[in-house]
Structures are given as C-alpha cells and as structure tokens.
Chains A and B, each alone.
Chain A
C-alpha cells in the first residue's frame, strides 16, 4: 500500500493505515491515550535521565504474573506503577453461581502454595450462617493440616527469597521440605496442591495411616533439617548485608497500609488472629507470637523462620491431644442457610485471610467477598521501593511474599 501524502508532504502518523519506519520496534510503556488521572500524568512524565523499565508480567522474579513499570534513574528506582489483573479469574463471581459445597473448590487456586488457608475462612463463614457445630476432632485435624501447610509455604518463601537475591541452592533445598509436606497432605486429602479438604461442618476424611506415618517420620527430623537448610542463608554475610535495613516500615505505617501476618509482626505489632480473635481450637493450644521490631526485610524473613518453629510446636500438641469422634457434623444434602451475613477471618502464612458471605436464603451465596493479604501487602511496594536500587526492589517484593493468584483473584 502506498502511503497517502498529507498536505505537508509527509505521511501522517495519525493515519492508522500507515506504519512509519521510525516507529517500528519502538515499544514504549507509555499508554497511547492521554493521561486519565493526575497521578498517571505525573508518572508518565519523564525527567532528564530517567527511563521506564518493564518488570513482568513475564519476568523471572515476579512470583507469578505481576507487572511493575519502574521509572528508574540509572540504577535507582524513582517511581513505580504496579499493574495487576493478569491472573483475574472472577473467583468471587464463580462462587456466587455455585452452591455452598461447590464454592469451596473455587477457593483453592487462590493461593496455590497454601490452599487450606483459602478454604478455611469461607467454610467458617458458611458454618456461621448455618449454625453448625464442628466436631472437635475435625477442628484438630484442620489445625494440624493447616499448620503443616503453613510450614510448607514458609519453606518455599525462604527459597524464593534467596533465588531473588541470586542464590541458586536454597530454593531446591526448601523444595525438599515442601515436597515432603505436600506428599503427606496428598496422602491425607488426595491432592498435592489444591486440596479441597475442608467441608462445611468438618473435613473430608479422617487421618489415615500413610499420613500419620509420613508425618511422624518427618517430625523427628524437621527441626534439624530446617535449621540446616537455613544456616546457608542466616550466616551468609552477603545475604544479611543485603537484607538488613532494607524496605524498613514502622508499625504505624504498616497498620495504615493494612498489613497483617508476618509482615506486620516484623514491625513489632504482636497481632495474630489466632490470639486476637481466637477461632477453632487455638485457645487450647500453646504457642508464642514471634515478633521483631526492625521492620526490614531481614526481620520479615526471620519472623517467618520463628513461625515455622511455633507451627511445629502446634503440630506436636495437636498430635498429642487429638480427640476421638466424628470428623463431620450431620448436615442435610442441600444447604439453605437463613438470610443474613457472616464474616470469618483466620491467620494464614501471609496474613489475615477472610471471607464475607451474604445469604438470601437460597442454596447459593448471594454475595461473597474474599479478603486476601497479598493484595494489601502489594499496595505498600509504592512506599518501600522508591529510592532503592533495582536489585533491592526485587528483594523487597520477595520479602512481602505476595502470591499473584490471591492478588488478582
């Protein structure tokens, strides 16, 4: 096609049929439309010496499909714009079109490294709506399996953290730990990652021999094994120097940015939903809430290490005090809860997981809202990253431990 010539004698760049030579292969992250907000206008204005760099959605260290447009000046991050939604599946809407039993299985893939924690708040909210009394054995099994899942999640976090800092080995070592736990949970629930194990009024099956033998086998060496795995990082001068004092956040800011879980406890606030708003059988169990006051990346990492030890304590107590009895409450096949609303929140490996359910009396939830901590943690990258180097930006993001499945829902 010949390019139409305009009045000024050259092809107009507004003509959609014309592709000007100099524009071929120029991929600027600046959107083609005029800025819609003041913030957008400010972000997409480049000062002298600055440039945009696109981190993600396909990037080795973005933990999924997070895209961050970084505005950098040399190696320094000046500003950033996280772009979410690459993994949006409409889980909440899907749950509203399924009945109460079916809704649970949609929640597993939200956080694919700690699936049990996504099921639990929804199941608890449904139980509140239905006024179901969960058998004590089922509660103990829930605590036992979910604490195992927490250890697996934290083990994976340590590996990822090291991988984002350039260490090759810890990720594979922590996958060993995680694989053992995941295999024993597979023996219990039938699935390796997306367990779909909790049911309204109990769990989907009693403890079995394979699970218990694997668990007993692992518990004997878990502490020593985890400590030997983490020794490679904790005593590494390069690792500690990179993490200490990086991405520091004080407790007020953390509370204002709606942080929860280990990220909040790393700033010195001993807020743990298992103690603050006790649920299930946690009031009967003995465990500490590890906190740190520094609020930097190293503190976030170390708090998670301490939490692993507390989780092992809880697992030990659960095994000792496991009561006899049924694992499911007696429930009708078709559930029609009373019209009303219910909220339930639990403490997960990343923070506060919660579900808010509105029932209109039919067998499907009228409205279901899922609260995920990763999303709220991700909003503080705007505070933590600017002023640091690109390498530190990756470390900060890894220390917040977001899972994109939960962020985009």
Chain B
C-alpha cells in the first residue's frame, strides 16, 4: 500500500489525470461494445426512425470543425491585408506567403500555461471564453451554405440567430466581471451597453425584409432570392441592408466600434487578464463572428447561395458510373495518356532544344489543369451545392474583406457617439424602413 502511495505521489499532475481517466475510458469502451452487441439492431432502428438526431450531431460536429480553419483563414487575411494597407510586408515566414502563421498562433496559444491571476472568480473566469466561443459557433448552425447544405432549417432561424448572438455579450460580461481588473470591468460594461443598444436596430432592420419574405427560415429567404441579382433583397431594402451592416459591425465588436477592446484606452478590455487558450477562444470567437455576420448579411440581403444570374443552359448530367460499364475503365486508363501526349506535342514540336521528357512533364501538368477545370465545371453545372457553396463563400469573403478594410482605415468612435448613433439615428431609421415597407406592401398588395 505504501509502495503504491509512493508511486502515486511521484506522478505529475498529468500522470495522475491520465492514470485516472484511462481505466474509466477502458470500462466505458467495454460497456459500449457490450451495448452495441446486445442492442445494436435496436439502436440502428431508433436512429433510422429519428434521422434528425443523426443530422443534428453531424451538423454540430461539422460546424465546430469548420469554425477553426475559418478563423485561421480570416486571421491570416486580416494580418496580410492590413499589412499591405500599412505598406508593410506582413507575415511571410511560416508556409507559403506566411499562410501558416495563424495555425502556428493557434498552436502557440494551445501550448501556453493555463494561467489565472490572483483574485479572479475562477469558475466564471473559465466559463466566459467557452460561452463566447460556443454561442458564436452555434450561430453557424442555421446558416444555409448551399442548397441542402445547412445544419438545421429552423422556421425561426433568424430569431434563433439573434438569440444566440445575444448570448455573446453574457460571456463578455462574465469575462469583464470575473477578471478582477478595472480595465476588464470597463470593457465588459462597454460591450454590454453596446451590444444591447445595437441589438434593437439590428433586429428592427430585418423586420421589413421579413414582411417581404413572409418567413424567418434563412433557407427559405435564400430560395426567395433566386433568379437575377435584381431579386436580391438589398435592392428592395437598401436602408435596411445599410442599417443591418452598421449594427452588425457593432455587434461583432469590429472597428470602428471596437470599444470593448480599445487598446489605447482600456488596455485590452475584457481580455486583459486572459492568456493561453482562454484568450485563444476569445480570439477565435471574434473571427468566427466576423464570418458569421458576413454570412448572415449575404444570406439576408445578397442572395445567399444564388448566383447573380440564372444559369442559362439547364444541364441534366447522368453520371451513374454503373451504366458506363467497362467503358469507364477504358476512359480512365486511356484518356490521361492520350491527353498528355496531345498536350505535350506542341512543346516537343516547337523547339528542338526541348527534350522529350520536359515536353511530357509540361503536357502532364497542362492535362491536370484541364482535367481539374473540367471536373469543377461539371460539378458546378451538375451539382447545385457546389455552385451554391462557391457563390456563398465568395460573397461572404467579400464582406469579410470589407470588415478587414474598415479595420485598416477607420479610427475608433467614442462611447457617447456610439450610443447616440444607435438611439438617435439607427433606431428611427430602422423604424422608418419598417413603416415604409409595411405601407408599400399594404398599397401594392391589399388584402
């Protein structure tokens, strides 16, 4: 017994945790195997009848997995774009053109000490980044990326989005309050005041759109905007789109409304006392939030996944490999060889100095380019969700770029100007927008 106690005492904290967790995991795994063997068929039947459960788990996992690379991409984009605007070079060391720098940043915050300073409210301090990150990621769940490519098609999708987005401020307030730091406190209170004020014009600005669309489902709103780009809601609700853009900028705490982390006033705002992965969660949440806000603007006002023009040639591709039979095998075996040789021939014939293998390499590269283009083209034409995803991400990143551009250009507004702008200008303007829309609907479309 003493020997065991001594051995146990020599373990590090990580060792103690691992030695406790491993047996539990082993027992759980064994139990799971037993359960699957005994009740496997029943579980499968249950899942088959309740497909929504499978769909939800898969969607949640996919959204969580998607959020981190998105944040990496936007962080890199921000570093590089602002560097170019500042006439700097920006990141250029890690990976091609420094593109892996944000990944390395992510690893760095993961490896840092999980530190909490004296005097903090430990539980709230730990929970705050989780609340902020989760509420941001959960908002991704209702965004329709492409036809059929969305987490959940709620009929109250937009309402869910605002509800979840409003939870972010709870996390920020928790961080500000629990940090035992006056800068953090000020930052937390600023974010509470700001987000609550801008929530109102943000919500009111889309009510006009909802009157037009007749639904709160983001999927349905995207479907309503199909056709030419003149069908997009931005042309029917220009004022609403403008108000929504401004209020969303404030909601995401981006420049020029980034008072919660105003580095020249209150050092880093609510995040002053945070370091390591807890700060990392705040950091990721901010950039995922930029993506989410841009995606929502695109979905509501800029046609969602719809292309700005309808595809003029309807194509019905029948790509059932079984129907092609042995012909498919021959196609796969012969076409690359012949294609490479045909594309290599001009290089070989053009100059006597080009060696045969060089011409073949060039031909191979060219064939690959042609093949990739063809496959993407076929996918674009034949598969709705590929075309939709391309258009959706393209439009979304245009707005992400706009946010980055604003950060590089604009100074910060003052807190009283911020609040005054929300209550004196945005709120009346959004009410006016709502009134005009309702009146127009009543006139054009009387019951």
**Interface residue total, chain A, C-beta cutoff 8 A:** 34
Pair B118/A394 contact, Cβ less than 8 Å: no
> A377-393, CB under 8 A of B: which get 1 and which 0?
00000000000011110
The residue on A at minimum CB distance from B88 is A172
> B249-282, CB under 8 A of A: which get 1 and which 0?
0000001101100111111000000000000000
**Shortest distance from the beta carbon of A394 to any chain B beta carbon, whole Å:** 6
| Interface status of B352 (Cβ within 8 A of chain A) | no
| Interface status of B122 (Cβ within 8 A of chain A) | no
Chain B interface: which of A32-40, A138-146, A232-240, A270-278? Answer: A232-240
Pair A165/B412 contact, Cβ less than 8 Å: yes
Q: Mark out the residues of chain B between 224 and 259 whose CB falls within 8 Å of any chain A CB in the assembled complex.
A: 255-256, 258-259
Pair B407/A53 contact, Cβ less than 8 Å: no
| Interface status of A90 (Cβ within 8 A of chain B) | no
Main secondary structure of the interface of B (DSSP, over half): loop
Pair A166/B119 contact, Cβ less than 8 Å: no
| Interface status of B113 (Cβ within 8 A of chain A) | no
Pair A53/B183 contact, Cβ less than 8 Å: yes
**Shortest distance from the beta carbon of A167 to any chain B beta carbon, whole Å:** 4
Pair B411/A165 contact, Cβ less than 8 Å: yes
Chain A interface: which of B34-42, B79-87, B133-141? Answer: B79-87
Q: Mark out the residues of chain A between 386 and 409 whose CB falls within 8 Å of any chain B CB in the assembled complex.
A: 389-392, 394
How far, in angstroms, from A321 to B207 measured CA to CA in the complex?
Answer: 71
Q: Mark out the residues of chain A between 154 and 183 whose CB falls within 8 Å of any chain B CB in the assembled complex.
A: 162-169, 172-173, 176
The residue on B at minimum CB distance from A53 is B182
The residue on A at minimum CB distance from B415 is A75
How far, in angstroms, from A177 to B410 measured CA to CA in the complex?
Answer: 21
| Interface status of B186 (Cβ within 8 A of chain A) | yes
| Interface status of A87 (Cβ within 8 A of chain B) | no
Pair A389/B415 contact, Cβ less than 8 Å: yes
Pair B417/A242 contact, Cβ less than 8 Å: yes
Q: Mark out the residues of chain B between 211 and 225 whose CB falls within 8 Å of any chain A CB in the assembled complex.
A: none
Q: Which of B180, B256, B259, B408 has the most CB of A within 10 A?
A: B256
Q: Contacts A59-B267, A390-B186: A242 and B413 contacting too (C-beta < 8 A)?
A: yes
Pair B414/A391 contact, Cβ less than 8 Å: yes
Q: List 14 A-B contacts (CB under 8 A).
A: A53-B182, A54-B182, A61-B264, A75-B186, A164-B264, A172-B86, A238-B256, A242-B411, A242-B413, A389-B414, A390-B186, A390-B265, A391-B265, A391-B414
B-binding residues in A (CB < 8 A): 24-26, 51-54, 59-61, 75, 162-169, 172-173, 176, 232-233, 236, 238-239, 241-242, 389-392, 394
A-binding residues in B (CB < 8 A): 82, 85-88, 117-119, 180, 182-183, 186, 190, 255-256, 258-259, 262-267, 407-417
